[in-house]
Chain A
Amino acid sequence: MNAPQQPPATADLDDAAIPYLPRGVRLQDDRVRGIRVLQAPERAMQLDAVGDAILSELDGETGLGALIDRLAQKYDAPRDQIAEDVRGFLNGLIDRRMVFVRGRE
C-alpha cells in the first residue's frame, strides 16, 4: 500500500502563530540517561540540543516570528536558517499533537 500524500510540512505556520506545549506534554531531564526528553502520551522523545533550545523558548505567549528572532540572536545564526529549522521541527510535533498552536486547539 502507498504512503498517503502529505502536504508540505511548513504549510500554514505564520509568524503570528503562538505554539505551546499542551497539557500532557512535558519537557524534562532524564537523569538516568543524562539527556533531555519530551514526554507525551505514550511517547518519550529524546531531544537534541536544537530541539531542546526551540522547545525551551515556548512560553505560550511569544509568537513564532519573535521566537525565531530570539533564537537567531541567541545562537548568532542566520534568521532564514533558524526559521526553516524551527518551522520544520514544530510542524512535525504539531502533526503528532505534541505542540499546539494557540487559537487552533
Chain B
Amino acid sequence: MDAAALTFLALGLPFAAALIAPALTRFLGGNAAWLLALAPFAIFVHFAGFVPEVAAGEIVTGGYAWIPSFNVSFSWLIDGLSLTFALLISGIGTLIVLYSGGYLKGHPDQGRFFSFILMFMGSMQGLVVSDSFLMLFVFWELTSITSFLLIGFDHRREAARRAALQALVVTGGGGLALLAGLIIIWNVSGVTQFSLLLTFGDELKESPFYLAALLLVLGGAFTKSAQFPFHFWLPNAMEAPTPVSAYLHSATMVKAGVYLLMRLNPVLGGTTEWQVLLPLFGVTTLIAGAALAVRQTDLKMMLAYTTMSSLGLLVMLTGLGLPYAIEAAVLYLVAHALFKGALFMVAGIIDHETGTRDLTKLGGLRTAMPLTFVIALTAALSMGGLPPFFGFLAKEEIYTALSGFDRRSMVFAALTILGNGLMFAVGFAIALKPFLGPKVDTPKPPHEAPVLLWLGPAILAAKGLSMALMSGFVHRYVTSPMASAVAGEPRSATISLVPHFGVALLLSVATLAVGVVLFLNLARLRAAMVAVLADIGWGPDRGFDQFMRGLVRFAVTATRRLQGGRLDTYMTMTFVLVAAVMLALPLRYGEFPRAPFFPADVPLHEFAIMAIAALGLFAVVMAADRLTAIVSLGIQGFAVAMLFLLYGAPDLAFTQFMIETLSVVVLALVMTRLRLSPSDHRPLRQKLPDFTIALACGAGFGLFLLRVTGVPFDSTLTDFFNLYSKSIAHGANVVNVIIVDFRGTDTLGEIAVVLVAGLSILSLVRLRAGSLKRGELTEIAAADASSKELV
C-alpha cells in the first residue's frame, strides 16, 4: 500500500473507530478506551513518519479527485504547520480517549461519548491537513457540529443545550463567512488548493477584493478561536464534560482559527490591515480573557478564560509582523497545548475525586492526591513561563519579538506583560490553592486518581519538561519547519534554556514580578472585577440571547405576514403579481407586440373549435353553480387540445385531454370536501376585484404570448433533436425521447416533485379529516352559516 492510501486511511480511521465505539463500550465499559486509543495512536505514528521529510524542507501533498469539473479535490498538504497540528491532535487525542475512559467510567452514554470525540478528532485531523479549500470548509463545519454534540452531551440540562447551540451558531456562522472568504480567494487566484495558493506571492494582497476576503476569513477565524467580542461561547462550552474542555476548548478546536491565520499568513499577511486588525483583536482578547479569568472561582471557568487569553496572544503574535513573532507564536502554541491540556485534565481529576471544582471549597489536597499535585505544579510552571519548562522558551521568544524600542513594540510589550502576569496568577491559583493550606471538607472524600485519569496529564506535563530540555531536537524537527511554513520562508527557532541576558529576560522578570504581586492579591482583585462587571451588567453573552430572541420574533412576524394561511389571499397575491409583471414590464420597456396578423383563409373547423372554447369560457362566467363552472372550464381545455392536435402536436394534445379530464374530476372531488355553498352568492361589488385581476392576468399572458411568437423561431434545438433522436437515442418520438433520455435528469427531478406533492396533499387531506373528527365539524358548519348570513 502506498503512502497516499495510508494517509487516506489515517484520515478515515477516527470515523471508523467512532462507528464501533458504542458497541465496544457496551462490552468493555471504560476499558474500551485502551482499544479505542489505538486509533489516534496509529495516526500519530503514521504522521510522525513524515517528520524527517518535512524537517528537510519538503512538502508532502497527495489526494484524490473529488469533483473534477469544479477543480475540487480531496487532497492533503503536509508541511511543518499541518504536521505539528496533526501530531498534537492525534497525540493529545490518544491521551484524551484514555482519560475519557476513566472520567466517564460507568456513564450510561460513555459509548456515545467516545463516538462523538473520535468523530471530532477525525474532523479536526481533516481540517489541518486539508489542501483543498472546500475540504477545509467541510471539516471546519464538521468540527462545529461535533463540538455541538459534545457540549450538549449532557442534553438533559438546559444550560448544556444553550451552550451547545450558542457554540454552533457562533462558530458555524463564522464558518459561513470563511466559506465566502475562500470563494473570493478562489475567484481572485483561480486555484482551489493551498499548496498552489502559497506559490502565488503578493497577487492576492494587491487585489481589490483583498479587504473583503481578509475580513471574511477573519470572521471565521475569530469566531472559532474565541476572539473578543466573539469569545462568550468558549466559557459557556465548559458545560461539556472535562475531557471535551481539555481537548476541544484548549488544545485543538479553538486553535483552528489560529491555524487558518497561520496557513494564510504568507498570502494574506504582512499588509497594514493584517498588522492592525490581528494584534488589535488579539491583545484585546488577551487582556479581556485574563481579567475575566480572575473573576472566576470555578477551576474550569478560570482555565477557559485563560485559554481565551492565550488565543488572543497567538492571534496577536501571528499578526504582529515583527522578527521572531512567528517563531514565538509557534512555540507558544505547542507549549499551550501541552500545559493547558494537562491543567484541564487536572481540574477534571479534582472535580471527579472531590465532587467540586470551586476554588473556594478546596484545599489541602496535597496529601490525598500527591501525584495530581505534582502534575498540576509542573503544568503551571510551564504556563507561568518558568525554566526549565517549554513555556519558558515560548515566553522568552515572545519577549524577544517584543523587545524593540519603537512605540508599537513597547505598547504591545506592556500589555503582554499585564496579560501574562494575570495568567501567571490564575495558573498558580489553580495549581496551588486546592493542594496547599489546611484540609477542607469536600463533597466526596478525596483520593488519588486511577491510572486512566492521571496518565494523560502526566505525559503532557512531562512533555513540557522534556521538550524544553531537548530544545535543539524539537526546534529542528517541529518548531523550525512549522515557523517556516507559517512565514512562507525558511525560519529557524534557536531559543534554548540557557538564559541570554538582554531586554527579553528583563521583560520576563517583569512579568514574573507582576504575576507574583497579582497572585498575592488575587482575592482583592477578584472582588474588584466582580464589582466592575456588575456595574457594566450587559455582555456579549446576554447580547447573544437578545439576538436569538430578536431573530425568532422577526421570523414569527415575517411568517405571519407572508403566510397568513388563507388560500384566497395567496391566490390574489400570486395573480396580482403575475399580472403586474406581465403588464408593467412591457409598459416600462415599450415592448408591446405588434398587431397580430390574421390569415384570410382560416378553415371553418378551426373557427368552430375556437368558438367552442369561447363558449366554454362564457359558460364558466355565467354558470349558476360551481360544478357547472368547473365542467365548462373543461370544455375550453378540450377545445385547446383539439387545436394542438390540428397543429401537429399529438403528444401535447393527448396530455392536455387527460389533464383536463382529471382536473375536472379532482376539482369536483375537492368541491365536495370543501362544503362550500353550491354557487357564488357574493354581490357584484365583491366580485369586481377578482374579475379585474383575472382580466389583467389574461390580458398580460395574451400580450406576452403574442410577443414571444412574434420573434422569429430559432430552430437550432428542433434540428438537433430531429437529427439525433433516432440515431443516438433510438426513438422516433422526439417529445418522448427528450423527456426520458436527452433531459432525463430533469424528468427524474420532476417525478420526485410529483411524488412529494402527492405526499403533502395526502397528508393535508388526512390532517383535515383528523381535525374534522375532533368535533370541528360543528364549528365549520357554524362559520358556514354565518358567512351565508352575510350574503
A, B in one complex: no
Residue numbers of B with Cβ under 8 A of A are none
